[in-house]
Amino acid sequence: MDTFRVSEVFEIAIKIEENGEKFYRHAATLAENTSARDMFTYLAEEEIKHKRTFEGMLSKVQEYQPPESYPGEYFAYLRAYAEGLIFSPEKIRTEFARVKNVTDAIDFAIQREIESILYYIETKQLVPASQRDDIDRIIEEERRHYLKLVDAKKAM
């Protein structure tokens, strides 16, 4: 098994946020009404803020070895999980092509917010205690995004 650097936790998080921004910008182009367009634009801007937070955390990375049954177990799990959250350019085109309208965009975004929250919860134990509050803050923001999307779907 190859090794997993703690810095990869933040590199993956940065990619997740970049993909989120791209998706929300795309979703905004599908929105026919101002409120949906504004919501997607707001969410895109939030992803940029999260990316900056993770870039700052990456610059202060410290090595950490979580408790595990065998060396690399936890990192192998995170890497496998993250593969579903990180889109290659081809996968982005494929996924975005499936989103034809605002309802599709909201459904897709709800699922991605849930998956991001789970990823960030899992990564908390891999970061120094001094950075866990930052992760908690992002988790709370992602939860608010999820609720915003659920409310938007109910209002349709």
Q: Model's pTM, two decimal places?
A: 0.81
Q: Write down the architecture of domain 6-155 according to CATH.
A: Up-down Bundle (1.20)
> What does the H/E/C string look like for 111-126?
HHHHHHHHHHHHHHHH
pLDDT tens digits, one per residue of 6-45: 677 788 888 888 989 999 999 999 999 999 999 999 999 9
Residue type, 135: I
User: Under DSSP, is residue 31 helix (H, G, I), strand (E, B) or coil?
Assistant: coil
- Both tokens of 127, joined, read 């970061």
Per-residue pLDDT of the chain (156 residues; tens, 9 = 90+): 444 566 777 888 888 889 899 999 999 999 999 999 999 999 999 999 999 998 998 887 655 555 555 556 666 777 777 777 666 667 777 888 889 999 999 999 999 899 889 888 988 877 777 888 888 989 999 999 999 999 999 998
DSSP 8-state secondary structure symbol assigned to residue 117: H
Domain boundaries, the chain: 6-155
